[in-house]
Amino acid sequence: MCSVLGVSTGVQLYTGYNAVSDQHISRTSEDINRALDTLPATLSILDNQIITRRQESELIEILNYLFPAQHYNHSALLFADSTPLIRIDNQRSITNVPQWFQSLITIPEHIEKRMVNNNNYDVGIIEVSASSRWAYTKYWQLFSNTLISHLFLMLAGGCLIYIISKKHFASLQRLTTRAQNIDNLNQAPMPLPEESDIKTIVRAFNKLTYQLDVNFKNQANEAVKLREQAYLDPISGLGNRSFFIHQISSWLDESHKGGLALIQTTLISDYYEHKGYQAGDKLIKQIAARLNEVIIYNDATISRLSRDEFAVLIPNLSSEKLTLLGKMILKIFTNIERNSDIDSAITTDIGLVYNEARLTPSQLLTQLDNALTQAKLTPHESIALIKDPTSHDTLGKQQWKQLLEQAINEDLFQYKFQPATLENRSIYHYEVFTGIQKNKDFYSAGQFLGAIEDLKIGSWFDRHVIVTIINRLNADRTIGPFAINVTNSSIADPSFIRWLDKLLANNTQVASRLFFELQEISCIRNTDATSILCSTIKRHRFGVGIDNYGRHFQSLTYLKEINPDYVKIDYAYTYQLNDQTKSAVLSSICRTAHSLDIKAIATRVETETQLERLSDLFVSGYQGFITEKYTQLEKV
């Protein structure tokens, strides 16, 4: 529309200029013709060589009448031989037209001469110079009126087009926003607009979004099936022996403090023998369901090791609670035995191991077998506990609480930082590991986190660490990014989320240099609280990560809801990469994260061989001793 109006304006102004110029000339010609009708009889006196003053005055008056001063710069009468007789000059400046317009547009004055003839005799000459003042005035009026009218038309047309196109623009804006967030699968289908052309595009977008969602779910389900094949007992739905051993390895590397239980029962074999395989399978599923109901610890691992053996691992569990748990498990089997109609003698034995030493998985499994053997030797109790006699750590829960309070009040915390490195060897972040230094004793987080979670005081600890790290980031803009682990008890604490919301709102300047790392179990068992916390963190543009990714057998579709920046792969998948089945599982769960543009970071990478194998399995980065030794910083 602007182009059309621009061309129209140009044409009108050009045509108007020519018309005014032609009118300027034709007006002069008309005035001279009128003068030639009037002057001949009067100019007969020009035959005389001398004229009187009165005659000269009459001629001047006639010339002023015929050629007004406002239209002519000068008018003159000459004898037939071009001898000057009378000349009237009327030079006037043009005051009603802007000077810039006169400089831009040139309209020259028009000079014209005519012979005056009387009775076929040439008696004199009329010479006039038509002023361009009139032409400038006319053309300025035309110019300004044309511009004003076209600007009005342009404005009115623009408003009309805006009103007509407003719906189109709104649909296109929604379409653009959806295109920018096409990788976000948590989106409802777009409503169909009224415009037929855009409606086709919206249908295509909705179909594409739906297909992406289906592909992600299929990929997540494929990853779950691969994990189940490698690590799941198909009957009970619990982890198998291989999964349990890997979880023990991971736990021993993290904290090595906690309890284990090995359960062996003759009930299952008797069911299979007397009631058949269908009844035996049903019994195994019943036992698994009851174990999951009773063992409510977030980080517990329950596995079926063989036909009649079950095992349990609970990190950071006290020996007292382990003993209590053994009795509860025994009660499960006792109740099932009472409700069965098997006549043969049924025995259930439970071996318990409380560990605080850094042992190997095989050493720990040997202790479990020894505890089970002891339980069988005391049939009147059926439970035996082996407690690690080498432990130097005998603090109870209340002592840990007092130590934590003292550490917060006296600032006894020390921080170590381990880098997480991307494929291009750039540092993605430094994970913060917190310990307590009291006199000559050093307590790592793995030693006291269990007590913190038991006492539900994780928010004390988390608040202190978060404030300390944020203060350090504010004080030094060259450090970071850091990743802070958040305890499960803090995630379930609404007051902690409100506190964190206010803190982050006041410190958005460090958002790009701080991540918050959550345990995968929180995403599965505390989904609503975890979603609220993640929304709070991301609203202020801080980062979110998931630790122990893939440890649990639930679906990985929680990634769509949480949408973290990165996940850290559970150690069970990065250990023994020569196993093709385990490599396939690792590749599948990494590909699931990769499809949502989430970085997958392998943990505890210690050798170049591990690094080379991981580079082929959709792993975005790695963390461990191979990247860099822990960096000790001074107390904050």
Per-residue pLDDT of 188-229, as tens digits, reads 666 666 566 666 777 776 776 767 676 767 767 776 677 777
Q: What three-state secondary structure class fits 118? A: strand
11-40 average pLDDT score: 79
Which pLDDT score is estimated for 497? Answer: 94
Comparing CA positions, the residue from 262, 271, 274 lying closest to residue 306 is 262
Tokens of 568: 């850290």
Average pLDDT value over all residues in the chain: 80
Architecture label for domain 2-150: 2-Layer Sandwich (3.30)
Beta-carbon count within 10 A of 406 CB: 13
Higher pLDDT, 160 or 187: 160
Of 262-266, 307-311, 442-446, 453-457, the one with minimum mean pLDDT is: 453-457
Query: What tokens were used for 213?
Result: 């969602």
Task: DSSP for 7-28, please give it.
Answer: HHHHHHHHHHHHHHHHHHHHHH
| pLDDT surpasses 60 at 394 | no
Domain residue ranges in the chain: 2-150, 232-387, 397-632
Task: Give the residue from 53, 76, 54, 55 showing the smallest Cα distance to 64.
Answer: 76
3-state class (DSSP) for residue 480: coil
Taking the C-alpha atoms of residue 399 and residue 376, their distance in angstroms, rounded to an integer, is 35
Same fold, 232-387 and 397-632: no
Query: Does residue 526 carry a pLDDT above 70?
Result: yes
| pLDDT tens per residue across span 119-140 | 777 777 888 888 777 788 888 8
Please, which pLDDT band fits residue 628 given cuts at 50, 70 and 90?
Answer: low
Tokens of 354: 């409380």
Q: Which of the pair, 31 or 169, is modelled with greater confidence?
A: 31
Q: Please, what's the b/e burial string for 535-552 (b: 16 or more CB within 10 A of its CB; e: otherwise)?
A: ebbbebebbbbbbbbbbb
pLDDT at 634 over 60: no
Question: Given the structure tokens 């001063």, which residue do they identify?
Answer: 69
> How large a percentage of the chain has pLDDT more than 90?
19
- Average pLDDT, stretch 377-390? 73
CA distance 392 to 394: 6
Q: What is the mean pLDDT of residues 327-340?
A: 86
The answer to whether residue 543 scores a pLDDT higher than 90 is yes
Residues ≥6 apart with Cβ < 8 Å to 87 = 74, 75, 76, 77
Spell out the residues 6+ positions from residue 450 whose beta carbon is closer than 8 angstroms to its own. Answer: 255, 257, 258, 315, 316, 317, 318
Task: Give the integer Cα–Cα distance in Å for 466 and 473.
Answer: 11
Query: How far, in Å, CA of 6 to CA of 1, rounded?
Result: 8
* CA dihedral for 364, 368, 369, 371, sign (positive or negative): positive
Q: What is the pLDDT of residues 582-606, one digit of tens each?
A: 777 888 888 888 888 899 998 888 7
pLDDT of residue 454: 67
pLDDT in tens, 69-93: 777 888 888 877 777 888 888 877 7
**Which CATH entry fits the domain spanning 232-387: 3.30.565.10, 3.30.230.70, 2.60.40.10, 3.30.70.270?**
3.30.70.270
Phi-psi region of 576 (alpha: psi -120 to 50; beta: other; left: phi over 0): left
Contact criterion met (CB below 8 Å) for 124 and 77 = yes
pLDDT digit string, tens, across residues 453-499: 767 788 889 999 999 999 999 999 999 899 999 988 899 899 999 99
pLDDT the model gives residue 169? 64
Instruction: Give the model's pLDDT for residue 629.
Output: 42
What would you report as the CA-atom Rg of the chain, rounded to the nearest whole angstrom?
Answer: 48
pLDDT average, residue stretch 382-389: 79
Q: Which of 594, 486, 590 is nearest to 534 (CA)?
A: 486
In the predicted structure, residue 381 carries a pLDDT above the cut 60: yes
pLDDT at 345: 66
Give the SS3 label for residue 298: coil
Q: Mean pLDDT, to the nearest integer, of 241-246?
A: 86
Q: Which helix (H) or strand (E) holds 305?
A: strand 301-306
For the cut 80, the answer to whether the pLDDT of residue 13 exceeds it is: no
In this prediction, residue 170 has a pLDDT band, given cuts at 50, 70 and 90, of low
pLDDT tens digits, one per residue of 347-356? 889 999 998 8
Position 502 scores a pLDDT of 96
Average pLDDT for 275-300:
88
Q: Where is pLDDT greater, at 501 or 439?
A: 501
C-alpha distances (whole Å) from 512 to each of 322, 325, 540, 551 are 43, 44, 10, 28
Where residue 288 falls among pLDDT bands split at 50, 70, 90? very high
User: Strand pairing partners for 128?
Assistant: 75, 112
**Rounded distance, CA 253 to CA 247, Å?**
10
Which amino acid is residue 175, in one-letter code?
L
pLDDT, average across residues 218-243: 79
Cis peptide before 481 (omega within 30 of 0): yes
Q: Which residues pair with 368 in a beta bridge?
A: none
The pLDDT, as a whole number, for residue 391 is: 46
- Burial of residue 450, with CB atoms counted within 10 A of its CB: 0-12 exposed, 13-18 middle, 19 or more buried: buried
Phi-psi region of 179 (alpha: psi -120 to 50; beta: other; left: phi over 0): alpha
Instruction: For the domain made up of 397-632, give the CATH fold.
Output: TIM Barrel (3.20.20)
What residues pair up with 349 in beta bridges, in sequence order? Answer: 264
Q: Of residues 24 and 98, which shows the higher confidence score?
A: 98
What's the pLDDT score for residue 309? 92
| pTM given for the model | 0.59
